[in-house]
Amino acid sequence: MKKYIFFLLILSACGSKKEIPLTDDQKIDQLLTDWHKAAAAANFGNYFGVMTEDAIFIGTDATEYWNKTQFEAYAKPYFDKGKAWSFKSLKRNIYFSNDKKMAWFDELLDTQMKICRGSGVLVNTDQGWKIKQYVLSMTVPNDDVEAVVKIKTPAEDLLIRLLQNK
């Protein structure tokens, strides 16, 4: 009888095991990891579903400043072909406002462009954390800055003049 009671106690202890809720850090880390995976899998709905309706995406080109609708239009042909882009986080830092209603992050990414930096802002909504802004930047080793500036000068000098005349 004692063995039977002991067995029932063990069984009930295992059955009552509660899942530990994720912290906000873990929720955001998972959201961003899943967001990048959705792009790699060309899952348009999952990728854009975690962005707020007024989200902004800022790309590596100086002209890439898109609201969500514009970014969806840009990205849709890539997603439709079944291959968007593949970013994997190498290092990620997450920070919170005091009231935990807003978070911001930065991350180093392994991409087809080699190491890039992503940074952004998230808001805590009734549906959970959502991306409000994302900025993607290419990194340039300090020793190579002069060569990169030389390459981009013709195109960006023109853009500078256009922006100054607005």
- Whether the CB-CB separation of 32 and 122 falls below 8 Å is answered with no
pTM: 0.87
Report pLDDT for 18: 75
State the Cα–Cα distance between residues 17 and 13, nearest whole angstrom. Answer: 7
Structure tokens at 149: 């500036």
CATH of range 21-141; options 3.40.50.300, 3.40.309.10, 1.10.760.10, 3.10.450.50? 3.10.450.50
Query: Cβ neighbours of residue 59 under 8 Å, at least 6 residues apart?
Result: 65, 66, 136
In the chain, % helix, strand, coil (3-state, to 5) comes to: 45, 30, 25
* 3-class DSSP state of 86: coil
Report pLDDT for 8: 44
Side-chain half-sphere of 75: how many Cα atoms within 13 Å? 23
Report pLDDT for 14: 55
Strand order across the beta sheet in which 65-67 lies = 65-67, 51-58, 128-138, 114-125, 102-111, 88-96
The pLDDT profile of the chain, 166 residues, written as one tens digit per residue, is 555 555 544 545 555 557 899 999 999 999 999 999 999 999 999 999 999 999 999 999 999 999 999 999 999 999 999 989 999 999 999 999 999 999 999 999 999 999 999 999 999 999 999 999 999 999 999 999 999 999 999 999 999 999 999 8
Whats the size of the chain, residue-wise? 166
Report pLDDT for 3: 58
- The strand pairing partners of 124, in sequence order, are 129
The domains of the chain are located at 21-141
